[in-house]
A and B are shown apart, each in its own frame.
Chain A
Amino acid sequence: MKEFLAMGGYAVYVWAAYGMTVVVIALNAWAAQRRLRRTLGELKTTAQPEDPARRPTVRKV
């Protein structure tokens, strides 16, 4: 395990690269989910309950 973590002397570089990869992917996923949740939440609070008066009326011609 210790040998694996040492990465043959390249530990700093290898783990920095993989660490940043985890950070970038995690932040991306978090931001995408948050935006969708927020948009849905915001629309829910502003949405009015169904108003029958606003339904498009169908007229017979």
Chain B
Amino acid sequence: MSRWRWFHLLASPPYVYRLAERLAPWIGAASVLALAAGTYGGLVLAPPDYLQGEGFRIIYVHVPSAYIGLMAYVVMASAAACGFIWRIKLAHAVAACTAPVGASFTFLALFTGAVWGKPMWGTYWQWGDARLVSELVLLFLYLGFMLLRSSFDERDKGDRVAAILAAVGVVNVPIIHYSVEWWSTLHQGATMMRLDGPSITLEMLIPLLIMIGAFTLCFAWLILRRLQAEILDRERRTRWVEQLVTGGAS
């Protein structure tokens, strides 16, 4: 047996479909539990901030959604690049599934940031802030990817052209991350990803880590479910899909 067997299995649509079918319920249940625990910790257990009072609790939905928005883009662009280079259809399917999910969480990061900015900075939005604008560019990259992909009649062509856009757009990821250091105006600097360790007390940090884990599980569940539909759609003419839907042995 080759040591690359796992790699071939992960490029095999029927294998991945069944894997997703088996994993999704567990990941979904874990996500619901973690979301409940993180929300309780963030809204009730964490002490109020000495500067922002109870208003800081928005952090528990803002940071995880911003994290998912960025992480999903890296997943999408990597998958699209793998699909482009090695012509793996399943990789293109992953990229296609990730785009709408990533876009929705990026929107959520912008929304929660705006309603947090209003009481703390006195404004919902400022065009001069690099973090805010680069995050908006991220949303447009997702939307551009989706539009471009769907504008081709042939799915293969759409996959390949959109993959180029996704790969080029990766330059925005480090820009978002470092924007608070390079052109800081309104948005504060990093709280957790610092060389000298997180600048936040444990009582506040633990619910935040739980929420980030919960959002990641939620993201994984969404991608698995979407991927199942995407695989069925792309493999509709194959024998295994026919057997799956008619209930025949596979």
A positions within 8 Å CB-CB of B: 4, 7-10, 12-14, 16-18, 20-21, 24-25, 27-29, 31-33, 35-36, 38-40, 43-44, 47-50
Contacts and interface: CB of A to CB of B under 8 A. Distances in A.
Interface of B: 35, 39, 43-44, 48, 53-55, 57-58, 61-62, 65, 100-101, 104-105, 107-108, 111-112, 115-116, 118-119, 218, 221-222, 225-226, 228-229, 232-233, 236, 241-242, 245-246, 248
Contacts of A9: 53-55
B13 to A, nearest CB: 13
Contact of A17 (B115, B218, B232): B115
A39 to B, nearest CB: 4
Of B55, B62, B236, which is in contact with the most chain A CB atoms at under 10 Å from its CB?
B55
Contacts of B222: 28-29, 32
B62 A47 contact: no
Contact of A14 (B58, B65, B226): B58
Please report whether the interface of chain A is mostly helix, strand, loop or mixed according to DSSP: helix
A43 B242 CA distance: 8
Given A8-B48, A17-B111, A49-B246, A27 B104 contact: yes
A4 B225 CA distance: 36
A28 B57 CA distance: 23
Given A8-B53, A25-B218, A43-B241, A50 B246 contact: yes
